[in-house]
Structure 1
Amino acid sequence: MKQLLLFLICNLTFLLTAQGNSAEIPPAVMFKQLSTTEGLSNNSIRSIYRDKRGFLWVGTESGLNKYDGYSFQQYYQNNSDLPDDAISEIFEGPDDNVWIRTSSGYSIYNYKTGKFDNDYKPILDGLQIPSKNILRMGKTSKNEFWAYDYSKLYIRSMDNSSIKAYPLAVEKISSLYIGVQFIYIMYSNGTLYSISKQTSEVKEIAIPAIYRPLLENHEPHIYIDQNESLWVYTFQNSLLLHKNSFTQ
């Protein structure tokens, strides 16, 4: 009986140890390279977006690509109605079509026609968003469509059709992020502001003076993670700043 009990204990110990070790072993991760050899229009990628239909859209310095998991379909100015080949941003608009930002303006890929349409003004007018002098547009994860011009930011909730406008400073905006409670705006001169979506109160978020020269005219961008922590980074130098609710 003692030998049987010892045998069971040894086997149980072995199983628990094996399970513990297996949990520590990371799963194998498979990578597949996708480049011009596989049909990508250009290896310098500016934007990646997966739409609701499962297609992966890849915007590059030269051409837009739609990937179905097997092959790329390439779109250029000379084989479509895209206003330019340099693609900087891709998202799904209020019409559930794919909106593409190029260096020469926006274009909308219509899934029903399979063609691009560069006239987005009727859609904005239908959303009660002034379509004149629009500089940037986008859509949040909370199903909010936004656009801004030289003086105001317009946010329209696609769930309840409400729309609200927030005043902006006239300085050039380098990056904008719309969170759940606040809007964060980074200007090219390195200043950073937050706007309360509820009260429209504007506050400057102080950045240490030592970092300001590294931000000014260096394309400063912002990102808000799932913990509502703020990240500031630049494209042209190795600067990364982080701020959470407790420390700077």
Structure 2
Amino acid sequence: MKLGLRVLLTLFLYSTVLVAQTNQAKFLSLQEGLSSEQVIDVVHDKYGFIWIATELGLNRFASNSFKQFYKSEKADGSSVNSNEINTLLYDNDQVFIGTRANGLNVYDLKTNCFSYYVHDDKNPQSLATNDITDIIKSQSGHLWLATYHQGVQRFNTSTKTFERFNKKNLPNLPENSTWTLIEDKDGTLYIGHVNKGISILNPKNRSVTVINVSNSKGLLPDNEVKSLFCDPFNNIWIGTRKGLAIFNPKTKSLKKINLFSKSINGKEPFIYSIKAINGSIWLGTESSQLFMLNPEYLADGTISQIKKITSANLNRGKTSSVQSIDQDQFGNVWMGIYGGGIAFTSHIKPFFSILSTQALFPGQGKPATVISILNDRDNSIWLGTVGDGVLHVQPNGKVNKINTGNSAIGDDFLLSGLQDSDNNKWFGLQNGGVSFFNARTQAWKKVETGEKMSSVRAIVEDKAGNIAFAAQEGVFIRSKTGAFSKLTTHSPALGDYAPRTIAEDQNGNRWIGTYGQGIYIFNSTGKLIKKIIKGQGINSNTINHLFADRQHNIWIATNEGLSLQPATKKQVSWKSLFHRMVKPG
């Protein structure tokens, strides 16, 4: 068991962390109570609530249920004044809600009341426009609001007034249409425009510096800047319609990062969101794809290189996009997907890790059906499959495919597998017989029994080193010398009588589970000593698996639940053998 776990761990070190995490991702959508799959933003509060902005209302998720806040026609403080919500910010027991056409809503978690801030033609200290695309908190405690039509607003949360920054009072601003904002550690504001690149605003002297595709000589990938992020070393990450760039405020340098080789469509992706997660930078992009970047920093905080880029597909469709990424106080990661609802990965490490066989051969577009897992002594893994032969996964993550086209395995459709005490491999073949791989000579050969042996669904090795094969015609036993003997549960051993699983108890008896005739027990000389059927401690005659544990108990998996024969019970007392019955559900 320890070897198996070590091999799996080794595999995961060479497979992508992000793929593993997204394989473990869970999704929340309409059927779970989410008001709309068109999710644009996600934030969390200190109480553990997750707040979700959609095109059809505000959602609050807690534990396992949603509460929806839909547009209130009266604007009486009981709900939002718009269903179309673009952006969210949580701060100091308040959720700030930027709407598409109805201004700013603020929800007070202490009073459970909403307040509203909208444009007023008569009040120059009101919002300049009601279309809000982003909200961030400044170091001074004020809020910065991006708008689609009237530049940037600075909101004083104490006086409840807005200060306007747009082309009217900042003529060097290239346009008023803005998507996103970020502030660096010096208080400089970066403004991502819809069509004109980035403006760098010094709020103190109101100076503006513009970076666009032209003056950066193409280092800014596109003039539509959708997402901005300031990392712990004060580098500004820039997500555009056509890829990623990083700006260093200290050196005034811009670096373009190529992602096309990892992109689903082979092009630089449209980047909608950027977030630091556990030391890596996550990018949410089009086609429900995620990228994880591991930058390497110099002593002064400059990024020298991106050490690793990993990508993963959330499989929510090519028309879906990861609009928002948020990590809550527990370490859970929440992703808002436009067209795909909510995805989240838990901070709790799952009991099982998943190695996706589809990820081993991504170009084939289908996973392999695995029927056996063999842990080799060299820390590699042999995966017996139905239709793909054997996938031999090396410790370094490389996969060798063994099939009828490149070996003498005999069949690509396998039914069972065993690694014996000499490290040899045995595989039951769908087209009949068993294929044997000699670990010493590295050669394959077909096992010859002298008679027909079809549908070998179980292969086990007993304490003496004999190999038993559960076949349609009975159980064939190969001794260490290579001689064969046979146990038959019925003549002919077809249909319900066909053996499908074998286990050895502490006395050397062989337990043979059948397809529909219960269990047959043979002693070490091959004599039938007992048959167990439904009502004698098992609830079904269909035996799916027999397992002898280290304490010599026999576990019996049937179509109607799980039974246990404790090793401490005598075999002559059949009625008391199965003192515990575990039923499904």
1:100 aligns with 2:97: yes
How far the C-alpha of 1:145 sits from its partner, in A, is 2.2
**Secondary structure of 1:46's partner?**
strand
Q: 1:167 and 1:75, CA in 2 relative to 1: closer, same or farther beyond 3 A?
A: closer
CA positional deviation for 1:157 = 9.4
How far residue 67 of structure 1 moved from its aligned partner, in angstroms, is: 0.6
Rounded to whole Å, the distance in 2 between the matches of 1:76 and 1:157 is 25
Runs of 5+ unmatched residues, structure 1: 1-16
Q: How large is the Cα RMSD of the aligned pairs?
A: 4.3
2:189 corresponds to 1:195: no
Partner of 1:233: 239
Change in Cα spacing, 1:45 to 1:206, as seen in structure 2 (3 Å) is closer
Q: Cα–Cα, structure 1 residues 35 and 147, in superposed 2: closer, same or farther, change >3 Å?
A: same
- Cα 1:83–1:213 shift into 2, 3 Å: same
**In the superposition, relative to structure 1, how do residues 81 and 104 fare at CA in structure 2: closer, same or farther (>3 Å)?**
farther
Q: 1:104 to 1:111 in 2, by over 3 A?
A: same
Corresponding residue number in structure 1 for 2:177: 173
In 2, distance between residues paired with 1:225 and 1:186?
A: 13
Q: Give the conservation status (yes or no) of the 8 Å contact 1:56–1:66.
A: yes
Shift of 1:98: 1.1
Match of 2:228 among 223, 229, 233: 223
Letter in 2 for 1:103: R
SS in 2 for 1:144: coil
Contact 2:190 2:201 in 1 (8 A): yes
Cα displacement (A) at 1:206: 5.0
Alignment partner of 1:36 is 2:30: yes
Report the CA distance between 1:168 and its aligned residue.
4.1
Q: What TM-score do you get using the length of structure 2 for normalisation?
A: 0.31
Structure with more helix by fraction: 1
**CA–CA distance in 2 between the matches of 1:40 and 1:212?**
40
Cα distance, 1:116–1:61 mapped onto 2, change above 3 Å: same
Give 5+ residue unaligned stretches, structure 2.
1-5, 169-174, 256-585
Describe the shift of the 1:243–1:62 C-alpha distance in structure 2 as closer, same or farther (beyond 3 A): same
- CA shift, 1:223, in A, is 0.9
Q: How does 1:150-189 map to 2 (within 5 A)?
A: 150=150, 153-154=153-154, 168-170=166-168, 171-174=175-178, 175-181=180-186, 182-189=188-195
Q: Deviation per CA, 1:105-131, whole angstroms, max 9, x where unpaired?
A: 22222223323222489xxx9xxx933
Higher Cα Rg, which structure? 2
Q: 1:97, CA displacement in angstroms?
A: 1.4
What displacement does 1:59 show? 0.9
Normalising by structure 1, we get a TM-score of 0.66
Q: How far did residue 102 of structure 1 move? A: 1.6
* Residues 59, 88 of structure 1: 8 Å contact kept: yes
Aligned residues of 1:143 and 1:157 also touching (Cα < 8 A): no
Q: Which residue of 1 aligns with 2:213?
A: 207
For the residues of structure 2 that align with 1:152 and 1:31, how far apart are their CA atoms? 36
Cα deviation for residue 185 of structure 1 reads: 1.9
Match of 1:53 among 41, 44, 47: 47
Q: Give the CA deviation at 1:241.
A: 3.3
1:208 and 1:39 map into 2 onto residues whose CA distance is 47
Q: How far apart are residue 62 of structure 1 and its match?
A: 1.2
| 1: CA distance, partners of 2:40 / 2:112 | 23
Query: What fraction of aligned residue pairs are identical, expressed as a percent?
Result: 21
- The CA distance in 2 between the partners of 1:109 and 1:247, in whole Å, is 39
How many residue pairs get aligned? The number is 217
